[in-house]
Structure 1
């Protein structure tokens, strides 16, 4: 595809987002008007009692089920899956979600907490609906490690390879460039340019091609991708699962790709916890020019960043949590219009 790929993204009438995997379980957290809580969702899925068994399990990672509708056409895409297959499948079951409707999987980047559950997800989808297309890029399959303060390197779990995913029934598209998915309902990016003055990645991230190679610094994680949906009459919904690129860089690229369209919502992890907390003030101010309607933080954002964003932007900021459903539409069901 050419660099004009983004211009062919079609506006959809509605987008529904189910949070299958996230770090936080908090059904009591205040919700936006277009969100439905975990309690409500599990009851609607058939739970006769609220209990540990009928609720969802949080774990370190991210995974969303995205459903779009445009006129009479509907599409379903899985964006990441999370770190561990059994919990992913448990959460799907308790939410009453239909994996058989999943046509494609888009992977944000090659880290275990986003790809570890893919084997079970692909196998479950194939049981009900043929072979899902799995969108990845070649940079996702290096081995990864973390440099500890002691100077030691601890490897992290390898992600499933294209061959392994194909053996399970997935049809893998392993390309580095941007692309449109599912009749132009989704934009899956290429590399995200690193242009801001302060988003310089993490010096403790390392990678290597294979187990016999030397570890090398990998602060930028250039394999990371974002996903964008254009909802008619609202604007762009931007999914940045971990924001290793830096969320200001992500929004800068979105603005360049889709000039004139507002960013209605940014959803995902902003990777501003721990050693990244020093970037919080610059990130908060760096987001101001984009006039984002809703910032829905999850996964690796960190509580200090969430508090700083809420202090700066008020009710436009909210906490993601597992089991929550978000509906983006000009007239979402169940939301009363103001008089």
Structure 2
């Protein structure tokens, strides 16, 4: 796998916000803007798209210059921005990469009621607005940046409690096979970016090593889906993660406990407006 010499990842939407003036805004969900050498990637679009548009403008990011849009999975807090007409217009005609099941009808059991949490666009609308690439397999779509494809499970707990999908047979448990990450190879090692990490960040790390052939993990950034886990499980995951990655940036659905358990030397603040950079 080739290497990215210059990498900058900026959080455009997250439920953790910063105190930057003029004020940036956040919401439940996630979106990150990636500059990998000369290539610009928008990873997820947040829940409404409003923070993405507002924050990009204040941060001097021109979303019309995006080369690729990547969706981490089919939940609305990561794809809802597709329903924002202004944001969709800026991204129209771009190459969009996702798992083939990204358009499945997804639901959350919220207080005994099924709530729709899937994409705001149909598969046909995605094809109309984007150059669509759907794949279950890893894809190095630009130099040094790999779309993980369907993450292999290595026995670590997955996070899909209360999540369902609709099929011709009815409503069934959603295994979240469309949960994908980005693997970015740098001179310092792999940088792994996740949206929610439903397949478990430890499974994701093992898979990243297997498909990239790179064993050194420099940084793990994004949602680890530990917010609803019991304290001991969070501690176990962060302990294992700390032994494998030099830098850790819990965001979105990771929870405050996960953030507090990362050592000062390893912790990266990764809320709205924050950037992670590597220059060589």
- TM-score of the superposed pair, with normalisation by structure 1: 0.76
The answer to whether 1:175 aligns with 2:135 is: yes
Distance 1:315 1:225 in 2: 27
1:10 equivalent in structure 2: 2
The answer to whether 1:284 aligns with 2:238 is: yes
* Greater radius of gyration (CA): 1
Residue 260 to residue 96, structure 1, CA distance change in 2 (3 Å): closer
Distance 1:159 1:137 in 2: 16
Distance 1:275 1:260 in 2: 30
Aligned residues of 1:181 and 1:188 also touching (Cα < 8 A): yes
Q: Which residue, 100, 103, 108 being the options, matches 1:146?
A: 108
SS of the aligned residue for 1:203 comes to: coil
Q: Which residue, 140, 149, 164 being the options, matches 1:206?
A: 164
Distance 2:279 2:155 in 1: 32
Q: Mind listing any 5+ residue stretches in structure 2 that lack a counterpart?
A: none
Distance 2:131 2:223 in 1: 27
Residue 282 to residue 194, structure 1, CA distance change in 2 (3 Å): same
2:116 equivalent in structure 1: 155
Aligned residues of 1:196 and 1:248 also touching (Cα < 8 A): no
Aligned residues of 1:119 and 1:165 also touching (Cα < 8 A): no
How much does 1:277 deviate? 4.8
Distance 1:106 1:114 in 2: 10
SS of the aligned residue for 1:81 comes to: coil
Written as runs of structure 1 = structure 2, the 5 A alignment for 1:59-138 is 59-69=27-37, 74-120=38-84, 121-126=87-92, 131-138=93-100
Aligned residues of 1:122 and 1:132 also touching (Cα < 8 A): no
Distance 1:250 1:265 in 2: 13
2:260 equivalent in structure 1: 307
Offset from partner CA, 1:11-55 (integer Å, 9 cap, x none) = 11110111111111123xxxxxxxxxxx3xxxxxxxxxx3xxx32
Q: Which residue, 175, 179, 193 being the options, matches 2:152?
A: 193
Q: Which residue, 202, 206, 210 being the options, matches 1:256?
A: 210
Distance 1:56 1:108 in 2: 23
SS of the aligned residue for 2:149 comes to: coil
- TM-score of the superposed pair, with normalisation by structure 2: 0.91
1:326 equivalent in structure 2: 276
Distance 1:282 1:179 in 2: 31
Distance 2:228 2:54 in 1: 30
Q: Mind listing any 5+ residue stretches in structure 1 that lack a counterpart?
A: 1-8, 28-38, 40-49, 331-339
Residue 249 to residue 235, structure 1, CA distance change in 2 (3 Å): same
Aligned residues of 1:141 and 1:159 also touching (Cα < 8 A): no
Offset from partner CA, 1:42-101 (integer Å, 9 cap, x none) = xxxxxxxx3xxx3211101111111121xxxx1111111111123321121111111122
How much does 1:275 deviate? 4.3
How much does 1:148 deviate? 3.8
SS of the aligned residue for 2:268 comes to: strand
Aligned residues of 2:10 and 2:275 also touching (Cα < 8 A): yes
